[in-house]
Amino acid sequence: MDPGRRAHYGEFYGGAGGGGIGGADDRPLAFVHGNCHAESLRVLLAGSPAFPYRTVRVPPVHELTADDLPHLRALLGRAALLLSQPVRDGYRNLPLGTAQVAALLPPGGQVLRWPVVRYTGLHPFSAIVRHPSDPAAVPPVVPYHDLRTLAVAAGGAGRTTAPPDALRAVAAGSAAELHRRERRDCDVAVSDLLVGLGADAVHTLNHPGNPLLVALARRVQDALGAPADAADPGRTLLGGVRAPLEEPVIAALDLGVAARADWLVDGVAVPAGTVHRAQLDWYAAHPAWVSAGLRRHSDRMALLGLRS
């Protein structure tokens, strides 16, 4: 194993041997399970002096491997609480689904499910595309697809924006879809906060901003009967990549902020045109992702007036 990974997740990898967890902290253990949101939620909960559980930094679910399963089982066997995003059974061909992981809790262990936030309202042309031949593959420069670039790659005419009504419809539909998934799969929700948070809601379609993460943490605390005192940690939790904020979207949603034409990647501005050209070249070498993107996002592309 990479020594850096072992050091970063030291308590997780120390768990199988029973050592290194908790130290003098005798609070019951809470295990936070999910994608990159999970560590952000854990940080916010751990920062609360009144939170009645201790936590351990664990790898995000998409980075867990078969070699990690003994450590996962060891920690969950000692946990009083599982805080999990909805994860399907057999995720990445491993027993990492929420129900599968919850089954490893001791008798009386509690489970609270919280949402995977995906919201395209601020970035209506941004998308995630997967292909079964390589589910982890992402385009170059930024790990997001642009439906306008996909349309051009498919032989269509690109367009720079869409009518305000279409942009508002994308935002409303995205919030409604998150609400639907919350009602189906979750015990706490945040979809009702998206409109009110405006441009602070998300940095990209799947990376919430601090205000939304703090609100989520407080709702988790409240659902557990703990003081809802999670606070901003003084640093941006999921802001490594920030998508452009385009003027037509700002106007359509009445966001009242300045437009930003560039991507920000680790604080460095990357022009949208650079991303567009690099990804067009990538699609030429990976045409299966073009077809997959057109199928997956056909309804949104039609709403935005994109035709291949």
Q: How confident is the model at residue 16 (pLDDT cuts 50, 70, 90)?
A: very low
**Can you give the pLDDT at residue 219?**
98
Cβ 7 vs Cβ 177: under 8 Å: no
Q: How far apart are CA 167 and CA 163, in angstroms?
A: 6
Residue 72: give the domain boundaries.
3-113
Give yes or no: residues 87 and 182 share one domain. no
Burial 96-134 (b: 16+ CB within 10 A, else e): bbbeebbebbeeebeebbbbbbbbbbbbbbbbbbeeeee
* Domain final position from 113, 135, 158: 113
- Does residue 27 register a pLDDT over 60? yes
**Dihedral, CA atoms, 129, 132, 133, 136, nearest 10 degrees?**
50
Same domain for 155 and 279: yes
Looking at the structure, tell me whether residues 174 and 292 fall in a common domain.
yes
Question: Who wins on pLDDT, 13 or 118?
Answer: 118
CA distance linking residue 191 with residue 158, whole number of Å: 31
19, 143: one domain: no
Question: What confidence tens digit (pLDDT) does each residue in 146-185 have?
Answer: 999 999 999 987 777 899 999 999 999 999 999 999 999 9
What pLDDT score was predicted for residue 23? 59
The rounded mean pLDDT for the chain is 94
Is the pLDDT score of 110 beyond 90? yes
Rounded to whole angstroms, the Cα distance separating 243 from 139 reads 15
Whether pLDDT at 22 is above 60: no
Q: Are 167 and 66 within one domain? A: no
Task: Give the model's pLDDT for residue 17.
Answer: 41
Residues 78 and 179 in one domain: no
Token pair, residue 80, equals: 């009083």
Within a domain: 191: yes
| Residue pair 60/12 in contact by the 8 Å Cβ criterion | no
Residue 21 confidence class, pLDDT cut points 50, 70, 90: low
Mean pLDDT of 197-210: 98
Q: Which residue's entry shows tokens 């601020």?
A: 122
pLDDT confidence of residue 20: 46
* CB count in 10 Å sphere of residue 85: 21
Q: Is 165 exposed, middle or buried (0-12, 13-18, 19+ CB in 10 A)?
A: exposed
Provide the 10 A C-beta neighbour count for residue 188: 20
Query: Same structural domain for residues 227 and 261?
Result: yes
pTM above 0.85, yes or no: yes
> Does any domain span residue 121?
no
Number of domains comprising the chain: 2
Question: What is the C-alpha to C-alpha distance for residues 189 and 58, in angstroms, rounded to an integer?
Answer: 23
Within a domain: residue 229?
Answer: yes
Give the span between the Cα atoms of 62 and 81, in whole angstroms.
21
